[in-house]
Amino acid sequence: MKKNWKTALLAGTLMASLVAAGCGSTETAAPTGGGADKVYVVGTDASYAPFESMSGDKIEGFDIDVLNAVAEAGGFKVEYKNTPWDGIFLALNNGERDIVASAVTITDERKANFDFSEPYFEATQMIAFKKDAGIKSLADLKGKKIAVQNATTGDEVVSNLIGKDSKDIKRFDSMPLALLELQNGGAVAAVGDNGVVLEYVKNNANAGFETVVDTTFAKENYGFVVKKGNKELQDKLNAGIKKIKENGKLDEINKKYGFKK
């Protein structure tokens, strides 16, 4: 998913003050054991269903369920704070967040500046379009208006195809807004993470969407992010991920969200 960390780091003083103020609701998941006193503050951009979204004043979703299970298995506590994507890595670097759990794709560029847990989810990009649009592959998007979420891997894929500054790219603050633009006829296609696209298509059956995954799209792995050098927390996350992979809890969560049968 969300690719360009540099955009987040340059968000500026205004966004830093925003994230410091809390940026929305919080939720704490306590472990059943372990006796840890520290509560790790988790930044998540809760606008990316089914991975993270708001339900009333509660943050929920796949990433939340996974990290709760990891924390329980690892014997530590986490507290979630809804944090806008543009400020999420700035908040991590400033120490206002300990973990970022927000469908973050592990990339070499990011690994140079942050530390990641082991992967917990595999994704790929997906193209959404309306029926009879004649789209069968990424190449068919040339010359068409394309909606993406700003500074994500979907944005990168489209930018590589037609140029970052192309007027045919329509960038939005969230993937649901990009898909709404497609639904309203302001774009011919939208490109984003398959899990998010499929969730939107499922919830908007009357929109008449079709989807395709281009054969050139690379597999992407999501990981939890910690500040560079925070090996203690990275190790805790990895130990918890290892446990929930071994005991079947991760498979259970994947099945809950329809990612596995």
- Is 261 part of any domain? no
Residue with tokens 């973990």: 99
| Same domain assignment for residues 161 and 105 | no
What is the reported pTM? 0.78
**Cβ distance 86 to 10 under 8 Å?**
no
Q: CATH number for the domain including 177?
A: 3.40.190.10
For the beta carbon of residue 106, count every other beta carbon within 10 angstroms: 17
pLDDT tens digit string along 138-169?
999 999 999 999 888 899 999 999 999 999 99
Same domain, 114 and 224: yes
Is the model's pLDDT at 6 over the cut of 90? no
pLDDT at 34: 40
CB 2 within 8 A of CB 102: yes
Tokens of 114: 């942050």
Mean per-residue pLDDT, 104-110: 91
One domain for residues 41 and 110: yes
Taking the C-alpha atoms of residue 67 and residue 223, their distance in angstroms, rounded to an integer, is 10
Please name which of 135, 157, 161 lies closest in space to residue 148, comparing C-alpha atoms.
157
pLDDT in tens, 185-244: 999 999 999 999 999 999 999 999 999 999 999 999 999 999 999 999 999 999 999 999
Q: Looking at residue 98, what is its pLDDT?
A: 98
Q: How far apart are CA 119 and CA 130, in angstroms?
A: 33
Average pLDDT, the chain: 88
How much is the pLDDT for 24? 40
